[in-house]
Amino acid sequence: MMKPLLLACLLVLSGLAVFGQTNDVKKYKDDSEIPRVNIEEAKAAYDKGNSIFVDSRSADDYKRDHITGAINIPYGTDGEFKSMPKGKRIIVYCS
Q: What band does 24 get if pLDDT is binned at 50, 70 and 90?
A: low
CA-atom Rg of the chain in angstroms: 13
**Residues shown for the chain:** 95
Rounded Cα gap, residues 85 and 49, in angstroms: 12
pTM assigned to the model = 0.66
pLDDT in tens, 42-87: 989 989 988 989 999 999 999 999 998 898 999 888 777 777 778 8
Return the HEC string of the chain.
CHHHHHHHHHHHHCEEEEECCCCCECCCCCHHHCCCCCHHHHHHHHHHCCEEEEECCCHHHHHHCCCCCCEECCCCCCCCHHHCCCCCEEEEECC
